[in-house]
Chains A and B, each alone.
Chain A
C-alpha cells in the first residue's frame, strides 16, 4: 500500500518535468517512462509464470500502427481504445493457442510473432492498400505524450498492487513454483495465465499507441524493431522480474545507459547489448534486488 503511494507520488513529480526541462530532457523522460511500463507489464506475466515472452514489440508495434491507420478517422480516445482492443484480441489468440501447452511452445510462438505481424502488415500495405508507410498528424505535444504515459504508469502501479494482494496473484505464484501443485490446488492454469497475458499485452500495446505521435512517419520496419523486445526483457531481468519494483529499478538506469551507448557506439550497439544481456543471465539470474537480499542474509548469518 505504502509502496503504491510512494510510486504514485514519484509519478506526480515526473509529471512536473515538462515545466523545467528542455525538449531533449522531456524525450528522455518519455523513453524512461515507456520502458518502465513495458518492463513492468512484461514482468507482470513473465515474472511469476516464467513463460518468457519475446513478443513485446509485436504488441508495441501493433499499438503504434493502429494509431497510424486510425488517427485520421477517429478521435484520440477512441483510437487508444481500438488499439487496446486489437492488442487484447491478438493476445487472446496467441494465448488460447499456446498457453494450454508447455511453456516452450509459448516462447517459440512469441519469438517469431513480431516478424510475422511485420510481414503481414507489409504485405497488406503493398498489395491491398498500395502505400507503405503512413504519417501521424496529431495535435499532441511531447508533454501530452508524457502525461498520458504517466497516467498509464499509474494504472500499472494500481494493477500490480491489486495483483499482489488478490487471489489471482497468489494463484500465479503457485503456478510459477510448481504447475502440478497449482493444478491440484484447483487453480485453473490456462485461464489464470491467459488473463495475465492479455492484461500485460494490452498495457504494452497502449505504450506503443501513446508513444506513436513521436514518430510522425511510421512504417512496419520502424515500429517492429526487435530491439524493443530485447531491451524490455533485459530491464525486467536486471531489476528482478518476480520482485514488484524490480522492473522499475532495471528500466530507468538501463534506458539511460542504452541511450548513451546508442549515441556513442551506433554500429556496435547490438553487440554490447547482447553481451550485457548474457552477463545479466549469468551473474544476476534473479535480478539485483534478489541478489541484494541474498547478500544481506549472508551478512546477517555471518554476524
Chain B
C-alpha cells in the first residue's frame, strides 16, 4: 500500500513537474502570467485522445506531432496577443495586469471551444494499461512510460538550458531583461521563444497526463492552479525547484487521496500553498530577498 502510493505519487508528480516547468518558463522569461495555460494542456490531452481513437496513433507518436504544434501555437499567441501588450506597457509594470486579464479571456475562449467540440464529460482512452511489477507492486505500463517521459523531457530541457548558448540567452533574459540587450540579446525574440517553449511543455504535459488520467474540458483551471503553486513553491524561474516541488505535490496529493479522502486533493494543494505563502513566499529553494 505504502509503496504503491509512493510510486503513483512520483508518477503524478513527474507530470506535474513537467507542466509546472512550462509555466515557469513563460512567467520567468516572457513575463506573461498565462492563466490559459491549463487549457492549452487539456487541449493537447483531447488532441492525443482524438488521434488515438480516430487514427489509432500511439500517444508517443502524437507527442512528436503535437509538441511542435504547441510550440507554433504559443509562438503565434505571443506574437498576436502578448506582443502588443508588452509594447504598450513599456517599463510600467502594467504588463502583469494586462497579461493576466488577456489570458483570463483566452481561458474562456479555449474552454468554450473544447466544450463545443468534446462536451463536458470526463474522457480517457486505454493505452498500455497492463500491469508491470515494480518493487513488488503492480503499476500500469502507461504510468511508467509517462514517468520516463517526464524525466526525459524535463531533464533534457534542464541540460539544454544550463549547457547551451541558447539556454544561456533564455536565462539571461529571465534574470535581467533590462541588461540582456547590452550583450547583444534580442529580448523580444528570446521572450517569444520562452513563451513558445512553455507552450510546448504544456502540450507535452497534457499528452503525458492523458495516457493515464481522465480529463474534462473544464479541468484546465485546476492544472493551471497546481502549476502556479508548484512554480511559487520551487521559486519563480527556478526549473530545478519546479521539478522537486512538482514531485512533492504529486506525492502529497496521492497520499491525501489514498489515506484521507480523494475529494480533498485540491484542499491539500491549497493548504500547501498557504504554508508556502506564510513561511517562505520566495520559494522553498530561493534565497531571502
Do B101 and A277 have beta carbons less than 8 Å apart? yes
Q: Which residue of B lies closest to A103 (CB)?
A: B96
Do A274 and B109 have beta carbons less than 8 Å apart? yes
Which residues of chain B are within 8 angstroms of A52 by Cβ–Cβ distance?
A: 97, 100-101
Do A119 and B109 have beta carbons less than 8 Å apart? no
Residues facing A in B125-148 (CB within 8 A) are none
Highest count of chain A CB atoms <10 Å: which of B84, B266, B267? B266
Question: In the complex, A61 Cα to B136 Cα: how many Å?
Answer: 47
Give the shortest distance, in Å, between A288 (CB) and chain B (any CB). 16
Q: Is the interface of A mostly helix, strand, loop or mixed?
A: helix
Do A281 and B266 have beta carbons less than 8 Å apart? no
Which residues of chain A are within 8 angstroms of B232 by Cβ–Cβ distance?
A: 105, 108
Q: Is the interface of B mostly helix, strand, loop or mixed?
A: helix
Give the shortest distance, in Å, between B69 (CB) and chain A (any CB). 21
Q: Which of A75-83, A144-152, A243-251, A264-272 lines the interface with chain B?
A: A264-272
Q: Which of A25-33, A122-130, A291-299 lines the interface with chain B?
A: A122-130
Which residues of chain B are within 8 angstroms of A273 by Cβ–Cβ distance?
A: 105, 108, 112
Partner of B222, one of A115, A274, A281: A115
Residues facing B in A21-69 (CB within 8 A) are 50, 52, 54
Residues facing A in B66-118 (CB within 8 A) are 81, 84-85, 88, 96-98, 100-102, 104-113, 115-116
Known: A50-B97, A107-B33. A278 touches B278 (CB 8 A): no
Partner of A281, one of B35, B101, B110, B278: B101
Give the shortest distance, in Å, between B280 (CB) and chain A (any CB). 11
Which residues of chain A are within 8 angstroms of B33 by Cβ–Cβ distance?
A: 104, 107
Q: A104-B96, A115-B221 are in contact. List 11 more A-B contacts (CB 8 A).
A: A52-B101, A103-B97, A108-B273, A109-B277, A112-B228, A270-B115, A274-B107, A274-B110, A278-B105, A282-B84, A285-B88
